Structure 1
């Protein structure tokens, strides 16, 4: 059973990490946007949106299923869980490496800069070797904090030393992509020195079992990505890199706000799973308290984003991104809506055993987004994507709330 003092320690550790990320982001994000400009920044984000599919596949559902398993089992079983998941991720990485070469070769008219694609693909490799899910599951977030601080600091220093003009966009992509690789190498040093016992022999049936266990959640994650991240890719296919740059810059601001909540949601997820084993009633009360407190804070932030959108765009993005002000107003309340869907979906439905219910919700949402997105892009371009995301997230949140109220007493 996870204790509240452990939960508090993990939240503090993750907030420390997020605080550093925001300090670094406050320095590097405006610098890259100003140096690269909308077009080259758009080239990077469009390519990242494509490579992100491979990151999702290699992550499978382990970022949710692994912490859940580790938090509810004894340490003597950690080795089997860890080794099985790492082998599975490496096998999937091998398949993804084959397919990325195939896609880039076949669709060379879309992916004209192959070097950039392979550079950003390093991020996929880094995510495979960085077992953040393990440290999250055993509630040792301070290790994640340390290795991330070191890796992000190295990448930031390299950006300011070498990125001077828009022609350095490939180097910029390289420095952004090597962060998880550095973090992964450092984390394995920690594992080999402190958790040697988790490296054990496994059977092929163990891999099959893990894949089967996480299949429904994996489908959910894929469909979530269709209506949350793939829109950048769709926008790039139907418009141009400059428009992608305008939209991606605003989405980066929204993602930063969402990132403020990540330390809390990452820390309470294994805590909720552990709490359910002893008292479902207490787990529900804990979820309700967290939802109320977080929604009030996030709501205030969303209101601030809407009111001060012009100021924020001028400060963080610059005059060349004035066209992004309207986008920020449309997307201002996404952090609040996303938080609520996370609390009622990931933090409630999944731990209480309703993985299939949550999966069906996100599949329907992805279909809804796909039906809308091309229509919106055709008439409103980037602003249309913003409206599509807003409508889809509202649908997800309302459906999760309805299912929680009807299925969990």
Structure 2
């Protein structure tokens, strides 16, 4: 088995624990809390996920690429510097976002109602700081992460089934869901030290500023895309009830889980494409991996659309029946997003055009805001689903056109 195939396989297993374990709890939690409880839980988790994105700040792509290059040239000193300063900057961002969210929880009505859930979610934020998945990707030792990921998720799963029994246990459900990421981060750091993958070095503020600036273009792209992904749930909270958010979020969880099936391929192939030296060789590899990725995405989308009712019935129960219509609308996303990965992450980022990628996502975020409120007003959660599909489709089309233009100018 080639190194790329091995990494894809390992990442599939890791993603399996990240999403299959939670899927095992969804039928249980949905029937305990109902749409309203799940809506509150989903709103809090969406905001925490947004804050995790802020803390990651694009390092998961830019630093992975730099570590991959340093690893191939056996430059351990560079790896140590990247490891130290990435964790340092993420810790700094953690302190900033905690301060901001505490203030917001005192003045924004939608957050006041779920502030305890958000405070509990700070556990996930710390886990995001401590979990150096970008280091393991860069040195292509993803198999090591199987132990911390599986163990932490299993512990969280068992704790939910043992301690979450009725509607009053919503805080416990949030706590145990967040605990997994923290445990995974702690165990991962143990393996970094045990295997001597990287060591902490003295902080160099100039170097910290440099890697942060280089990652800012990726962060801006995430920030733009977050308007129509993670922040969509928060936007909905101003127009619909927590019950409707629960209905929508349940369908969204299914498509998010389905899309995550593509993540192992994306993460494993990205370092492999990043180190190309010849344009023609790169394009051959991009076409080969792209056909596999998009073909896989088409299968996922067709399956979700055809079996939406059955999926909703099994996972969420009769109270969530309306979710199936939302799910059918969102079933187009795996195809659209696979094209975004192909021409964005595997395309523009690899050929060092991250800056333009960030601009595309920022403009898409602003574009999304021009019709999301109108669609929410007339069609509620269905309008929200339609707006996401429209925006993601526009983004993928623009990424394709820009990539064609930029790659034609790239020297062989």
Contact 1:313 1:321 in 2 (8 A): yes
Q: How far apart are 1:109 and its partner, in Å? A: 6.0
Q: Counterpart of 1:13?
A: 10
Give, in whole Å, the separation in 2 of the partners of 1:107 and 1:133. Answer: 34
Structure 1 stretches of 4+ with a deviation exceeding 6 A read none
Q: Counterpart of 1:199?
A: 200
Alignment partner of 1:267: what SS?
helix
Q: Counterpart of 1:75?
A: 75
Q: Counterpart of 1:312?
A: 311
Q: Counterpart of 2:353?
A: 354
Alignment partner of 2:321: what SS?
helix
Contact 1:151 1:180 in 2 (8 A): yes
- Call closer, same or farther: CA 1:113–1:228 in 2, change over 3 Å: closer
- Call closer, same or farther: CA 1:312–1:53 in 2, change over 3 Å: closer
Q: Counterpart of 1:222?
A: 223
Q: How far apart are 1:13 and its partner, in Å? A: 1.0
Q: Counterpart of 1:299?
A: 298
Q: Counterpart of 1:61?
A: 58
Contact 1:330 1:387 in 2 (8 A): yes
Q: How does 1:199-348 map to 2 (within 5 A)?
A: 199-274=200-275, 276=276, 278-348=277-347
Contact 1:39 1:245 in 2 (8 A): yes
Give, in whole Å, the separation in 2 of the partners of 1:179 and 1:97. Answer: 19
Q: How far apart are 1:306 and its partner, in Å? A: 1.2
Deviations 1:94-134 (A, max 9, x none): 11222121111222564224322100121111111111111
Deviations 1:361-393 (A, max 9, x none): 111211111111111111111000000000001
Give, in whole Å, the separation in 1 of the partners of 2:17 and 2:89. Answer: 32
Deviations 1:314-341 (A, max 9, x none): 1112111111121111111111111111
Q: How far apart are 1:304 and its partner, in Å? A: 1.9
Deviations 1:39-81 (A, max 9, x none): 0010011122223332122111101111111111233210011
Alignment partner of 1:223: what SS?
helix
Q: How far apart are 1:357 and its partner, in Å? A: 1.7
Alignment partner of 1:34: what SS?
helix
Q: How far apart are 1:351 and its partner, in Å? A: 0.8
- Call closer, same or farther: CA 1:285–1:154 in 2, change over 3 Å: same
Give, in whole Å, the separation in 1 of the partners of 2:110 and 2:356. Answer: 40
Alignment partner of 1:381: what SS?
helix
Alignment partner of 2:190: what SS?
helix
Deviations 1:290-318 (A, max 9, x none): 11122122212211211221121111121
Q: Counterpart of 2:375?
A: 376
Comparing 372-381 with 53-62, greater Cα deviation is found at 53-62
1:29 to 26, 29, 54: 26
Q: How far apart are 1:280 and its partner, in Å? A: 2.3
Deviations 1:204-224 (A, max 9, x none): 111111111111111111111
- Call closer, same or farther: CA 1:330–1:283 in 2, change over 3 Å: same
Q: Counterpart of 1:103?
A: 104
Q: Give the gaps of 5 or more residues in structure 2.
A: none
Q: How far apart are 1:188 and its partner, in Å? A: 1.1
- Call closer, same or farther: CA 1:109–1:136 in 2, change over 3 Å: closer
Q: Counterpart of 2:386?
A: 387
- Call closer, same or farther: CA 1:116–1:69 in 2, change over 3 Å: same
Contact 2:220 2:359 in 1 (8 A): no
Contact 2:35 2:246 in 1 (8 A): yes
Q: Counterpart of 1:142?
A: 143
Deviations 1:15-57 (A, max 9, x none): 1223344542342122112222110010011122223332122
Alignment partner of 2:351: what SS?
coil
Give, in whole Å, the separation in 1 of the partners of 2:278 and 2:147. Answer: 34
Contact 2:312 2:323 in 1 (8 A): yes
Q: Counterpart of 1:184?
A: 185
Give, in whole Å, the separation in 2 of the partners of 1:197 and 1:376. Answer: 49
Alignment partner of 1:72: what SS?
helix
Deviations 1:222-257 (A, max 9, x none): 111111111111111221100000000000000111
Contact 1:48 1:120 in 2 (8 A): yes
Give the RMSD, CA atoms, in angstroms: 1.5
Give, in whole Å, the separation in 1 of the partners of 2:152 and 2:294. Answer: 32
